[in-house]
Chain A
Amino acid sequence: MEVTVKIFRYNPEKDQRGNYVTYKVEADENDRVLDVLEFIKGKTDGTLSFRRSCAHGVCGSDAMRINGRNMLACKVLIRDLGANITVEPLLGLKVAKDLIVDMEPFFDNYKKVLPYFINESALPENGRERLQSPEDRARFDESTKCILCAACTTSCPSYWANGEYYGPAAIVTAHRFIFDSRDEAAGERLQILAETDGVARCHTVYNCTEACPREIKITKAIGEVKMAMITGKLD
């Protein structure tokens, strides 16, 4: 089938503002958007820039706005989009070139929630790992799936309005450690998230949950963090 692909283009060395360029490509309906982008870059226009790495929905580097919604280009098939496709960079982050955005502010916010395991207690007597029951592990299983693609954060109107808002991805990461029974810094993280740019900026718009390529129930995770903050309980 012939697919018409309209792509946002911006070259910081030449352009004052972005513009759209349309390409017509022969594609199979089972091709992914990433295949089409690679075809265009390889055969039609080598100047097209976009991020990609694993190309299998694991690394999260090819998150972009496809037909108006955040998705991973490597996970969406042409047959699910039709013959007319519009590809744009993520919203709320500066465009570096074409479909590449500056991810630094996203990772700066991520770092603010202490995204690492904290436990200052001595190791168990046998010197081996800190054990955890399957039930305790299941408590935060959902939030371990995050691949930091930024599809959720850049779909959030609160983040569009204020780049200082930590954003859904950072809160999901905080959730992963707050509800980990082995971690000892839940209180510290909850205090960070109680700041002006923390969870209070979430207005349960639900764009993040819909955008997540890993199907994490992000709004629910944020809701659980909000409740833990109010009640002081982690159960």
Chain B
Amino acid sequence: MGLKRNVSLSAGLRYKGPGAYLTYILHRIGGLGMAIFIAVHILAAFIGGRTGGFLNGIYENWAFQIFIFFCALFHAINGLRITILDLFPKLLEYQPEAIWIEWAVFIPLFGISAFVILNTALGG
């Protein structure tokens, strides 16, 4: 038998799935982002000193905060959608609509929050 069954990350990402596939990918990135945030936070507190200060600088940076807020908010809203659809399988028929609602909730919430973070960081 020939080529392996392994699917590379790039081959998986190139698959043209529907809208839910994008949310699946962003959900994973969100989870990874939060794990990085927590790891940096714990390391900064644990190590202390100059290295701890450097790590503090990373997670207090406004760009990092916007990224982490994106991760946490998207992960939470998407997780809520998945939980609701898992509990009520009949609603799975309306998955595309559920994703539109998810974006309709996420975009304004994230937009306002990002504006506030940016405004505080640069303006004040």
Residues of A within 8 A of B (CB): 10, 12, 17-18, 65, 67-69, 91-97, 102, 105, 155, 157, 160-161, 163, 203-207, 209-210, 217, 219-220, 223-224, 226-227
What B residues does A69 contact at CB under 8 A? 15-17
B55 touches A (CB below 8 Å)? no
What B residues does A102 contact at CB under 8 A? 1
A156 to chain B, nearest CB (A): 10
Contact partner, B24, options A93, A157, A226, Cβ 8 Å: A157
The complex places the Cα of A206 from the Cα of B93 at a distance, in Å, of 11
In the complex, the answer to whether A223 meets B16 with C-beta atoms within 8 Å is: no
Q: Known: A205-B21, A206-B21. Contact between A12 and B1, CB under 8 A? A: yes
B15 to chain A, nearest CB (A): 6
The complex places the Cα of A17 from the Cα of B1 at a distance, in Å, of 13
Which residue of chain B is the closest to A13 with respect to CB atoms? Answer: B2
Contact partner, B92, options A67, A210, A217, Cβ 8 Å: A217
Between A91, A92, A163, the greatest number of chain B beta carbons within 10 A of the residue's beta carbon is seen for: A91
In the complex, the answer to whether A206 meets B17 with C-beta atoms within 8 Å is: yes
The complex places the Cα of A220 from the Cα of B86 at a distance, in Å, of 9
In the complex, the answer to whether B92 meets A219 with C-beta atoms within 8 Å is: yes
The complex places the Cα of A65 from the Cα of B15 at a distance, in Å, of 9
Q: List 6 contacting pairs A-B, 8 Å CB cutoff, sorted by A.
A: A69-B15, A91-B7, A94-B2, A105-B5, A204-B92, A223-B89
Residues of B within 8 A of A (CB): 1-5, 7, 11-12, 14-18, 20-21, 24, 82, 85-86, 89-90, 92-93, 95
The complex places the Cα of A94 from the Cα of B2 at a distance, in Å, of 6
What B residues does A155 contact at CB under 8 A? 15, 17
In the complex, the answer to whether B89 meets A226 with C-beta atoms within 8 Å is: yes
Contact partner, B5, options A12, A163, A219, A223, Cβ 8 Å: A163
Q: Known: A96-B1, A105-B5. Contact between A227 and B20, CB under 8 A? A: no
B30 to chain A, nearest CB (A): 14
The complex places the Cα of A203 from the Cα of B85 at a distance, in Å, of 11
In the complex, the answer to whether B17 meets A219 with C-beta atoms within 8 Å is: no
Contact partner, B89, options A17, A92, A206, A220, Cβ 8 Å: A220
What A residues does B3 contact at CB under 8 A? 10, 12, 17-18, 94-95
Between A17, A65, A207, the greatest number of chain B beta carbons within 10 A of the residue's beta carbon is seen for: A207
B56 to chain A, nearest CB (A): 35
What B residues does A10 contact at CB under 8 A? 2-3
The complex places the Cα of A163 from the Cα of B6 at a distance, in Å, of 9
What B residues does A206 contact at CB under 8 A? 17-18, 20-21, 95
What A residues does B92 contact at CB under 8 A? 204, 217, 219-220, 223
Q: For the A-B complex with A163-B5, A227-B89 known, give 11 more contacts whose Cβ atoms are closer than 8 Å.
A: A12-B1, A91-B7, A91-B12, A92-B7, A96-B1, A203-B82, A205-B21, A207-B20, A219-B92, A220-B92, A223-B85
The complex places the Cα of A220 from the Cα of B88 at a distance, in Å, of 10
The complex places the Cα of A10 from the Cα of B21 at a distance, in Å, of 28
